[in-house]
Amino acid sequence: MTAGEPAWAGEQGVGETEPGIRETTVRLSGPVSLKATLECGQAFRWKPAVFPGRPGLYSAYRGVMGRVAVIVGQASPVTEEILVAWDASFPLPSGRSASSGPAGGGDPSQAYVERLVRRYFSDGDDIRAIEESLARMGGVMGEAVAHGRGLRILTQDPWECLASYVLSLNKNVPAISMSVEYLAACFGEPAGMGAFGFPAPHVLASQEVSSLRESKCGFRDKYLHDAALKVASREVDLDLLGTLPTEEARRELMRIRGVGPKVADCVLLFAYHRLDVFPVDVWIARAVSRYFMGGKDVTPRAVREFGERYFGRLAGYAQEHLFYWIRDVRRNEP
DNA sequence: AAACAGGTGCTAA
DNA sequence: TTAGCACCTGTT
């Protein structure tokens, strides 16, 4: 191979891509659409990519799940199988990547990645039943669910999710993504594949507010710092939060500057998997008012209470399907 | 060029 | 309790 080319450029053999890159397939208990799931806006770190060694896949995205960078792909728009590529030259957080344990008894690093994917993509959710129930609720829900078929509410890391949504205040998705990526690259740990994990709370807490500002987070710098401080000191205990009733957990989160009802609800839904919460932003407020409340002018609080009551334990999925649909399909309508 | 963006905190009624 | 406004800065 010619000097200057990437080391992997000449490799054509089956299964041979970049050195250290490994691949596995995870079959979930129900359908998944990577596009709907990763582009609906619940997570900010996923970018379209080419799956290593399989350029013909229907879709693929690179991103970071917790502390591990991966590329995920699928062969058609909605499948039950996710292909996962990861960088085995980095030790996985489990501590025992390949060395410990006798060969032949299953591969611990592959098993770790599989567990990670199942958790992140909320494998326990009965997507078929959820979509069927939502579509049956009639009105626009049928159309919304048809558009977002295979959308899964992720189970993200609570701290990363909280920090990301603090950064989201009055910003658009590309801008949020830019700040998150900057913070990871600047203060995070290597996660493989040239990517970095989102920095731990104590790492951001120990920075000057002014250096956080370099992530282009603007006036949110002090909010991010406050969040890092309170989480690192356990003044707001993210582990304990998981055991609290939703109302109490929401109140706890809102003790952080820059965390109001919308941000708190997003964290409860996208990290703590409280599927009965209904985060309300301007888009959802518009959609609910228009399609469920006769176009009346309504407060965000009224919309939230309506959503939680009307959709019940499906509120989170209803919200995300509505959000994805209204932005994707109705973007150019009044 | 100017308005807008997945809200929230602050202040004034 | 509620309405009105400012807020950083990259996109559109």
For each successive 10 residues of chain A (334 residues), what is the average pLDDT? 35 54 97 98 97 96 97 98 95 60 69 97 98 95 97 98 98 97 98 97 98 98 98 98 97 98 98 98 95 92 97 98 89 58
Give nearest nucleotide to A169 (CA–C1'): B7
**Per-residue pLDDT at A9:** 35
pLDDT at position A90 is 87
Say yes or no: Cβ of A231 under 7 A from any atom of strand B.
no
Running DSSP on this structure, what letter comes out for residue A122?
T
Nucleotide nearest to A175 (CA to C1'): C10
- Determine the protein residue whose CA lies at the shortest distance from the C1' of B8: A258
Q: Is the pTM of this model over 0.75?
A: yes
The protein residues having a beta carbon less than 7 Å from any atom of strand C are A 170-172, 174-175, 178, 213, 216-220, 299
C-alpha A190 chain-centroid distance: 19
Task: Using a 7 Å cut-off to protein CB atoms, list the covered nucleotides of chain C.
Answer: 3, 7-12
Nucleotide C12 C1' to residue A121 CA (A):
32
User: SS3 string of chain A?
Assistant: CCCCCCCCCCCCCCCCCCCCEEEEEEEEEEEECHHHHHHCCCCCCCEECCCCCCCCCCEEEEEEECCEEEEEEECCCCEEEEEEEEECCCCCCCCCCCCCCCCCCCCHHHHHHHHHHHHHCCCCCCHHHHHHHHHHCCCHHHHHHHHCCCCCCCCCCHHHHHHHHHHCCCCCHHHHHHHHHHHHHHHCCEEECCEECCCCHHHHHCCCHHHHHHHCCHHHHHHHHHHHHHHHCCCCCHHHHCCCCHHHHHHHHCCCCCCCHHHHHHHHHHCCCCCCCCCCCHHHHHHHHHHHCCCCCCCHHHHHHHHHHHHHHHHHHHHHHHHHHHHHCCCCCC
Which residues 41-60 on A are within 7 A of strand B at the CB atom? 41-42
Nucleotide with smallest C1' distance to residue A178 CA: C10
Alpha-carbon distance values, A170 to A196, A199, A253, A258, A263 (Å):
25, 23, 19, 11, 11
Answer for A88: CB within 7 Å of strand B.
Answer: no
Cross-strand pairs, A208 = none
CA angle A257, A178, A267 (to 5 degrees): 40
Q: Which nucleotide is nearest to A43 (CA to C1')?
A: B6
Task: Determine the pLDDT at residue A93.
Answer: 75
Closest to A314 in 3D by CA, of A123, A40, A126, A130 = A130
Choose among A320, A298, A39: nearest CA to A173. A39
Residue A308, pLDDT score: 97
**Residue A105: its pLDDT value, please?**
57
Q: CA A282, C1' B9: Å apart?
A: 18
What's the CA–C1' distance between A280 and B8, in Å? 14
User: Is residue A267's beta carbon less than 7 angstroms from any atom in nucleic acid strand B?
Assistant: no
pLDDT the model gives residue A330: 62
Q: One-letter amino acid identity for A207?
A: Q
